Amino acid sequence: MKYLSFEKSVGCVIYRKSEDKTLFLLVQYRSWQWDFPKGHMENGESEEQTLRREVFEETSIDDLEILPNFRESVHYFYTAKGNEKKERILQNKGIYIFKNAVYYAAETQTEKVKIDFENKAYAWLTYREVLERLSNDGSRTVIKEVAVALKQDN
């Protein structure tokens, strides 16, 4: 069994206009952590293809208008635990993961979200609410950059 894995995920900060404010979508993973929709790149996929596939799988949203010239990368290291650790061992994948997560930003007109089995809940939140709900620094950095790109009030 190998112990170290290098992986790449692609995610998206999805936003929509609601009356006079911008709302951002967060999903709550099985681990109870709130974050932006994201997932692993499959062989042969471009980043945009991964983004669109993962967003659709996790939220059923398919009307994304990707924000031009926005792309942020976050690098982090973690150790798989619980069910993820068991699954990774069975698949002969490393349990120590160095992850490169690439994020885009995209606008949607869709309000109703249908989450998949990998997630517990979703929420449309204001910028400040997103900052309060996120638990990791990488995602906080990404939403701050999106806010700058969208010229939101910080």
Report the 10 Å Cβ neighbour count for 77: 9
Please state, in angstroms and rounded to a whole number, the distance separating the CA atoms of residues 27 and 37.
6
pTM for the full model?
0.88
Distance separating alpha carbons of residues 54 and 9, to the nearest angstrom: 10
Domain ranges of the chain: 4-150
**What are the mean pLDDT values of the chain's consecutive 10-residue runs (154 residues total)?**
84 94 93 91 95 96 96 92 88 91 97 88 96 94 96 57
Give the right CATH number for 4-150 from 1.10.760.10, 2.130.10.10, 3.90.79.10, 3.40.47.10.
3.90.79.10
| CA 32/CA 117 separation, integer angstroms | 13
